[in-house]
Chain A
Amino acid sequence: MGKREVDDRFKKFGTVSFTSITKVNDFVTKLEEGKVSGTCCKGCGKKYFPPRADCAECLSREMDWFDVEGKGILRTYSKLEFAPIGFEADLPYSIALLDYGDYKVFGRLDSSIPDDEVKVGMEMTTATNVLSNGQLNYIFKKA
């Protein structure tokens, strides 16, 4: 019996990935291509970030991908001095939320931005990022 092929691309997402199998695994391939992407329902047009395989509005399972582009507004953030197991090497780092109007994106701030330049309400962009352990995520940069 041949070994069944498992699509576990999602294990590449984040400093520590806690799950590897999802119907939106293309998200990781797109990250590798330098794109941060959400899904848009073909049935009703609703935009989802983070991406979903299923539309809770109209129950459609037909989705298109769209790229997170342009500027978002920093709604809030926090700089961590302690980290969960597996994230210690990233310290200190800031988690944050960017508002794009139609959808919001949760992620990390670009660690090269000085603390005193981070302000709620500032414009930022979302960019893919390769972590020191080779994993992938995305970060928010000053617009």
Chain B
Amino acid sequence: MGKVGVIGVGQSSFVRGYPGSIKELAFEGFSDALKDAQIKTTDIKASVVCSSPEYDKQRSAAGVMAEYLGMTPQPTFYVETLCSSSSTGVKLAYALIESGLHDVVAVVGFQKMSEISSAESQERMGRGADIQWESPFGTMMPAYYAMYAQGHMAKYGTTPDDLALIRVKSATYGQINEKAVYRKPVTFEMFHDPKSPMSNPVASPLRVGDCCANADGSSCIILGNEEMTKRFAKKPVWIRGIGAASTTVNLAGRDVFSGLTAGELAGAEAYKMAGITPQHINVAEVHDCFTIAEMMAYENLGFAKPGEGKDLIKSKETYKEGSIPVNVDGGLLSKGHPIGATGGSQMRTIVLQLRGEAGEMQVKDPEFGLVHNIGGVGLYGNVTIFGR
């Protein structure tokens, strides 16, 4: 098998209430990636379009995106795995390239969360689980992750204060990421100040400060085979490992409530393919839709032993200067989480890091970077490892 490399990366700013259509939003990330790659749309032989359609009014978005982005008559494919849609899109693009079907493929992720009214959004939130057996009890995404937080706390003695430290870290970097939606600081004290919204309970034991920032946004990753990557990329970054897994939607079908098994399995697959261990990773983007999700990712990816994720954040090892910097672009918590665009944005951050182009967020001379992107409540796990 030949190698698959990154030719270009791009993303829009992540914002509240994007003042344009979904096509115009997607164009921002796409044009950013084309400028980065210095290629023409005719160099792209296929597109993969990724979003979570429950937030789209447009049916079958791949077609309208291919038209607006100028990628007809090339084939286009639509991919959805909730919050990990664009990671899954990258996996499909990888397979399209490795199979020899297409030499350059663009993965366009987008989500205009504000496309539907907040009432419609509220209604959809109630259908986020298995609508037959769990949604009728009144479930919501924060409550599911809260059940994992409760499980983690009961098993390992993790505390709400440990989780707050993760939000404080993400806000540190959200402030220096000009693409982030939430650019204000969050302090540990806010979690204990009844006057701060951050301290308000959402679903025990999670508070407002434990939840990610809602945002509209788009991302684009342009991949190529070895020949095209070498031809177009100034500083080639290669996909070294790629893993994906799933688990049951119904919590009743699961055995572990202190970690996300699909993320762990995807990570193991990606490490094996790359021929490296967690200790080789120099910078990571992990799925922190809630603080507990980042804590579990530390452990599922082998950055910490099970139950010791809290020690990693307490000792600041996941800060930029630490042994394993995680989400030093603000993460989903502060950068924002436009569902279909999130995985592509995480990958953009890692590619910029490996090229040494991450500006103020740059970690020192990384060789390997990892992206961990989860769809649903641990339902879809995706891990992609990049290397120079």
Interface residues of A, Cβ cutoff 8 Å to B: 10, 13-19, 22, 49-50, 75-87, 90, 93-97, 103-108, 120-121, 137
**Given A22-B132, A106-B252: A82 touches B140 (CB 8 Å cut-off):** yes
Enumerate 8 A-B pairs (CB-CB under 8 Å) in ascending A order: A16-B136, A76-B154, A78-B205, A85-B119, A85-B126, A86-B126, A86-B138, A87-B138
Q: On chain B, which size bracket covers the interface? A: 35 or more
The 3 closest A-B pairs by CB, nearest first: A14-B136, A84-B126, A87-B138
Q: Which residues of A contact B133 (CB under 8 A)?
A: 50, 106
Q: Which residues of B contact A137 (CB under 8 A)?
A: 136-137
A13 CB to closest chain B CB (Å) equals: 5
Judged by a CB distance under 8 angstroms, whether B360 is at the interface is no
Q: Which of A16, A17, A97 contacts B147 (CB 8 A)?
A: A97
- B154: nearest residue on chain A (CB-CB)? A120
B140 CB to closest chain A CB (Å) equals: 6
Q: Most chain-B Cβ atoms within 10 A of its Cβ — which of A83, A84, A107, A121?
A: A84
Q: How many A-B residue pairs have CB under 8 A?
A: 115
Q: How far is the CA of A60 from the CA of B264 in the complex (A)?
A: 32
Q: Which of B123, B154, B200, B202 contacts A84 (CB 8 A)?
A: B123
Asked if residues B139 and A95 are in contact (CB atoms below 8 Å), the reply is yes
Q: Which residues of A contact B253 (CB under 8 A)?
A: 104
Q: Which residues of B contact A13 (CB under 8 A)?
A: 136
Q: How far is the CA of A19 from the CA of B136 in the complex (A)?
A: 9
Q: How far is the CA of A86 from the CA of B148 in the complex (A)?
A: 25
B154 CB to closest chain A CB (Å) equals: 4
Asked if residues A82 and B202 are in contact (CB atoms below 8 Å), the reply is yes
Q: How far is the CA of A79 from the CA of B151 in the complex (A)?
A: 13
Q: Which residues of B contact A93 (CB under 8 A)?
A: 138
- A86: nearest residue on chain B (CB-CB)? B126
Q: How far is the CA of A18 from the CA of B122 in the complex (A)?
A: 14
Asked if residues B150 and A80 are in contact (CB atoms below 8 Å), the reply is no
**Given A80-B203, A105-B252: A85 touches B122 (CB 8 Å cut-off):** yes
Q: How far is the CA of A8 from the CA of B137 in the complex (A)?
A: 19
Asked if residues B143 and A18 are in contact (CB atoms below 8 Å), the reply is no
Judged by a CB distance under 8 angstroms, whether B204 is at the interface is yes
Q: Most chain-A Cβ atoms within 10 A of its Cβ — which of B127, B138, B146, B151?
A: B138
Q: How far is the CA of A17 from the CA of B142 in the complex (A)?
A: 21
Q: How far is the CA of A17 from the CA of B130 in the complex (A)?
A: 11
Q: Which residues of B contact A96 (CB under 8 A)?
A: 147
Annotate B335-378 by CB proximity to A: 1 below 8 A, 0 otherwise. Answer: 00000000000000000000000000000000000000000000
Asked if residues A78 and B203 are in contact (CB atoms below 8 Å), the reply is yes
Q: Which residues of B contact A84 (CB under 8 A)?
A: 122-123, 125-127, 138-140
Q: How far is the CA of A50 from the CA of B143 in the complex (A)?
A: 20
Q: Which residues of B contact A75 (CB under 8 A)?
A: 151, 257
A23 CB to closest chain B CB (Å) equals: 11
**Given A75-B151, A77-B147, A95-B143: A18 touches B131 (CB 8 Å cut-off):** yes
